Amino acid sequence: MRENMTFLTNYYQIREMTIDRMKEIIDQNKNAKEGGTVFFGDSITQFMDIEKYFPEIDNKYNCGIGGITSTMLLHFIDEGVLKFKPKQLVYMIGTNDLGKTVMQSPKDIAINVKELVETVHYNLPECEIYVVSPLPCLPMHDYKHTPGVLRSNDLLKMIYKEFKKTIPYEYVTFINAYPILCNKKGEPVEVYYEDGLHINHEGYLRYTNCLKEYIL
């Protein structure tokens, strides 16, 4: 996230809101009850009201961080996942990796996700791990749409394909949530979106119902 830096470094910049959110998650893990469900990812996860959408799950924690990338989450596995000692991990990432600062390839993103699930599994071998596909976006309505940004629905679909090619483990369950926001032609439906990138209540209903088919 570059904001108004005079010299536009290619290194992703961690901003105050990200640090504040990380502190909130660390505060959660200090009093967390073992054996819960951890939702880990970017803003799609952070903005998901897990109390509203997952009343069936008593012990649950939202560890989403807006604007975060797969590389940055590798540095936050311990605080954001392991210290919760969850029974289930629901992990969705990838969209921000295609942003103007980071510009990672789908293969690079998949390698990061592979490393994260390996770390979780070796530390918490009984934890069920669910890797969720990125959701489609409405490119020309994306509030961060700027020339030079790699984010496109073709690349977002490719990320999920790379997940399945790169992560060969039986202990990982893949969830393809991309189609649930699309019409019969495979195009994202605008009514499910807040701003082209983030989904609204109707979008979250479809997304969380998709997750429930696997995690409940």
Q: For residue 136, which phi and psi values (nearest 5 degrees)?
A: -70, 160
**210/115 Cα distance (integer angstroms):** 25
Reported as type and span, the H/E element at residue 175 is strand 172-175
For the chain, list the domains and their CATH numbers: 16-215 (3.40.50.1110)
- Residue 191 CA to chain centroid, in angstroms? 21
Tally of CB atoms within 10 A around 17: 12
**180/99 Cα distance (integer angstroms):** 23
Judged on CB neighbours under 10 Å (0-12, 13-18, 19+), 125 is exposed
Least confident of 12-21, 36-45, 142-151: 142-151
Q: What is the pLDDT of residue 122?
A: 98
For the stretch 87-115, pLDDT in tens is 999 999 999 988 755 678 999 999 999 99
Least confident of 57-66, 91-100, 134-143, 190-199: 134-143
What's the residue count for the chain? 216
Greater confidence (143 vs 11) lies with 11
Residue type, 107: K
Torsion of CA 109, 114, 71, 181, to 10 degrees: 50
Beta bridge partners of 184: none
**56/36 Cα distance (integer angstroms):** 12
pTM value surpassing 0.85: yes
Reported as type and span, the H/E element at residue 90 is strand 88-92
